[in-house]
Amino acid sequence: MKILVTGSEGQLGRDLIPRLKAAGHDVCGYDVGSLDITDAAKTSELVAAEKPFVIINCAAYTQVDKAETERDAAYAVNRDGAANLAQAAARCKARLIHISTDFVFDGLKSTPYAEADAVNPLSVYGASKLAGEEAVAGRLPEHIIVRTAWLYGGQGNNFVKTILRLASERESLNIVYDQIGTPTWTSDLSDAIVLTVKAVESGKTPYGVYHYTNEGVASWYDFAVAIVEEARRRGLKVKCNSLEPILTSGYPTPAKRPAYSVLDKEKFKKTFGVEIPYWRVSLKNMMTELYGGGIA
């Protein structure tokens, strides 16, 4: 099956494409250098030339804080780019799998967010991603929107890489503990998307919105502690001997984050028949993949 992947050089795209190829699909990957999805005419032209059965949109403007002052840039990619892909897919009778975010919620709940829960983004980034969801849904019935959260992987920059670097340089780190969510390994999300593609190919998949993250719940502080523990197990350089939990108010940022953004994944698990790994297990597997098993 022919699949077109945007954002091919991002941390998700770089994990996803090899898995799609291993599943036997004909995959063409495009990043911003070869496909600017904000250009409607060129997007339509390229999709028409490739004739994919499925488009997977991993392209996004993800600089959450910069988006507060770069609103037009965020909306151009996250809303207009998504709309352009959906329109191009509709013309070619392709299906679209669009990756979205937990930032569409305001974080005021204390139980996991289901797909049908009210959305209320707190930031420009979250609002632009919600606008992208709405653009896709309004232009292409044959769509699947996958909301995910706290992505990290072996490719690119992410929280795991940042903590490993800072822990090797500093004796003490202050980490926010009152923002709650679920770390998600890009390899696990990629495997889940491959299953989603298989279901779409079968023609029996209910279209619409789905949630996928790893299982479990953590604060950024919990996540950082686990990262440092895994680093020590592998004999990596760790200078840090003190991780201090702090409130969000002690680490102000331009963009407001949801305090609680755990996603309910029951719909995804039941629809696609997938078992989702616990986030600590996935973090251990990611660290083993990058740095080896270390000591028990």
Catalytic residues: 125
Are 220 and 175 a contacting pair, CB within 8 Å?
Answer: yes
- Quote the Cα angle for 61-64-68, to 5°: 100
Token digits of residue 187: 């390899």
| Alpha carbons 16 and 156: distance in angstroms, whole number | 14
Are 139 and 98 a contacting pair, CB within 8 Å?
Answer: no
Scanning the chain, the segments in alpha helix (DSSP H) are: 11-22, 40-50, 71-75, 82-92, 124-139, 159-169, 186-202, 220-233, 266-272, 279-291
| Alpha carbons 288 and 292: distance in angstroms, whole number | 4
Q: Which residues pair with 55 in a beta bridge?
A: 4, 96
157 φψ region: left (φ > 0), alpha (ψ -120 to 50), beta (else): beta
